[in-house]
């Protein structure tokens, strides 16, 4: 099997628990991947513009942002699919029945949260997203929305997904990022779809791809590629969803797999 594209999730997968990665080790691996003509792709819930900035030392790298709604390369620019204004208002109307949750509206550049939102939530969003703005009412936001970022009590997560799925049918899909957090994404706008679009653009088939992930929002991507690799730090039930399991994010599991299973063959 010839691998031509490697895609990886960010948080809990490529990044360690401090939000960074082994930069010297990756630099050597990336140089070898380029020499062999293998694409390295980041697929994340982060905004694509943030990903491009975070990896500014690698301008040829492709980014999948917004859990699949955005596709960006520093040279090619950004393409994004956003919710319609009507859909955004419908979703906010449904979410109004859950005053205990915290909501962020994520555009391609700016993320909006309520001024009166929990200070801890606002601080976390400010750390996660580069450009954060507070507003009096989320219904007043006019920027096109790529996804909704929702924080809730960990014990509430599964029930919230269960309740929102039928309420938002054909409007939005809940994608859990782990207990206590989820994204609402556009139907069909997952990482697997984005990989298919990118593969079509680059002339790379799914059978020539490997992907890494640790959460349910990575499932479509893991299923789409030839080999879906789940991180050792992923929940046990998640580890059964891939083709194989690698070491944890704290152990540079992505880099170890690439070295041992791709570059040595």
Is residue 197 very low, low, confident or very high in pLDDT (cuts 50, 70, 90)? very high
**pLDDT-above-70 percentage for the chain:** 99
In tens, the pLDDT along 44-80 reads 988 999 999 999 999 999 999 988 999 999 889 999 9
Candidate list 9, 11, 183, 252, residue with the active-site label: 9
Using the predicted structure, report yes or no on whether residue 114 has a pLDDT greater than 90: yes
Arithmetic mean of pLDDT, 249-265: 95
CB 214 within 8 A of CB 12: yes
Please report the beta strands in 116-208, taking only residues with DSSP state E, as ranges in sequence order: 132-135, 147-151, 173-178, 181-185
CA angle 260, 48, 99 (to 5 degrees): 110
- Token look-up 């349910």 returns 216
Q: Write down the pTM of the prediction.
A: 0.86
Say what the pLDDT of residue 177 is. 67
How far, in Å, CA of 106 to CA of 84, rounded? 13
Q: Give the residue among 226, 223, 194 at the shortest CA–CA distance from 208.
A: 226
How far, in Å, CA of 37 to CA of 72, rounded? 19
Question: Domains of the chain, with CATH numbers?
Answer: 5-80+189-263 (3.40.50.1000), 85-185 (3.30.1240.10)
Q: Give the residue among 18, 1, 26, 4 at the shortest CA–CA distance from 253.
A: 26
Active site residue 9: yes
Using the predicted structure, report yes or no on whether residue 134 has a pLDDT greater than 70: yes
């Amino acid at each position: 099997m010839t691998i031509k594209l490697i895609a990886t999730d960010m948080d809990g997968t490529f990044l360690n628990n401090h939000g960074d990665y082994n930069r010297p080790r990756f630099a050597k691996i990336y140089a070898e991947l380029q020499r062999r003509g293998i694409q390295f792709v980041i697929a994340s819930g982060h905004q694509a513009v943030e990903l491009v900035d975070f990896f500014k030392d690698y301008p040829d790298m492709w980014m999948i942002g917004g859990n699949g709604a955005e596709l960006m390369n520093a040279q090619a620019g950004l393409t994004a699919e956003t919710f319609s204004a009507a859909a955004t208002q419908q979703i906010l109307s449904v979410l109004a029945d859950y005053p205990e949750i915290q909501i962020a509206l994520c555009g391609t550049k700016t993320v909006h949260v309520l001024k009166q939102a929990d200070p801890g939530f606002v601080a976390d969003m400010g750390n996660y997203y580069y450009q954060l703005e507070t507003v009096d009412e989320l219904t007043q936001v006019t920027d096109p929305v790529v996804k909704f970022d929702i924080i809730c009590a960990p014990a509430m997560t599964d029930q919230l997904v269960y309740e929102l799925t039928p309420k938002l049918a054909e409007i939005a899909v809940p994608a859990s990022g782990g207990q206590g957090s989820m994204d609402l994404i556009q139907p069909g706008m997952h990482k697997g779809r984005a990989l298919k679009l990118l593969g079509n653009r680059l002339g790379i088939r799914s059978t020539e791809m490997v992907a890494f992930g640790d959460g349910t929002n990575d499932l479509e991507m893991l299923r789409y590629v030839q080999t879906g690799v789940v991180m050792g730090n992923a929940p046990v039930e998640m580890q059964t969803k891939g083709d194989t399991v690698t070491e944890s994010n704290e152990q540079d599991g992505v880099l170890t797999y690439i070295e041992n299973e791709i570059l040595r063959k």
